[in-house]
Amino acid sequence: MRHATLLLAALLFSLPVTARAVDVTEPPDLSGDVGSPSAVTLTNGRNTVSGTLATPDDRQDNFTVTVPTGHRLRAVRLTIEGGGFIGAVTFNLSESRTSSGPFTMGLPMPAGTYYVQVVTDFSTGTSWTMSFFVAPEDAGPICGDGALDAGEGCDDGNATECDGCSNACTVVVSGCQIEGACVAEAAAHPTIDCIGCNPERSRTAWSPLPRDRRCDDDTFCTERDACDGAGNCAGIPRTCDDGDACTTDACDETSAMCTAAPIPLCGVDAGMDAGAITSDAGATTEDDAGRVG
């Protein structure tokens, strides 16, 4: 039994160890000193480094990323979260970005250490994330690494479906993945006009569509129906006017039509009726001059 235990232990120690991708997030705070950057050693796969900047106390994040021997840095991407970012993110002292997107200069890069500086000015609470995709030197095309390889229609460096590039690196509809299907951006729910795919709200659930979008509230007695921005469709009361001052006009939802009810003693007859004497039998009508008509 002792020999079997020792053999099992020897086998376990001899198995290759697969390093897990690195995920670095503040705190602790990344260095604000350009002369002594924080050090991050990358491993195989997608590694991320994230931070938050706020002037005047924390204007810079400086760090280095080291690609291990036998590997290459295939893709680098920046994501800035929240508005108000005024600044730049510089990778390897050679390429800067001021908004979300991929870095492209010199990629793929061999094993080595590369410098990153994130600087902001007049911005408060800006969060950022950088992803670094590392792969062995002899690795072939990898879908999802952010690098467009031969045979790939696209590669946006993420595992999100329905964002224009699928997990198989083929071009697909750009929009939302809802209830197992890709829904194009701004497309409405099949039966509800004022909710749909609104990526600014959610990429995975039905969301309210923009205000004033045309819709139909399925009510005859309203018109100019429009979305209210909260997922509801509403219109203004339908105008039912037959142009006749001697009718009371209304909208009948049941019959889905405008109605006009005559107003008694209205119109041309009003003057005569007011100055005439009518017998109970209604046979004759005598006017004020005494003539019988």
pTM equals 0.55
Question: How many beta carbons lie within 10 A of that of residue 230, not counting itself?
Answer: 9
Backbone angles phi, psi at 219, to 5 degrees: -120, 125
More confident site: 51 or 273: 51
Cβ atoms of 230 and 196 within 8 Å: the answer is no
DSSP state of 282: -
Q: Give me the pLDDT at residue 17, please.
A: 40
Residue 24: pLDDT above 80? yes
| Distance between CA atoms of residues 63 and 34, nearest Å | 8
Amino acid (1-letter code) at residue 31: S
DSSP state of 89: E
> Which token pair is 247?
């009718």
Cβ atoms of 234 and 225 within 8 Å: the answer is yes
Q: Give me the pLDDT at residue 83, please.
A: 65
pLDDT digits (tens, 9 = 90+) for 151-203: 788 887 776 778 788 778 888 778 888 888 888 888 999 999 999 998 888 88
Average pLDDT over residues 84-93: 88
Question: How many beta carbons lie within 10 A of that of residue 35, not counting itself?
Answer: 6
Percentage of residues of the chain with pLDDT beyond 70: 82
CB proximity list for 105: less than 8 A, separation 6 or greater: 91, 92, 94, 95
pLDDT digits (tens, 9 = 90+) for 258-277: 999 999 988 765 444 444 33
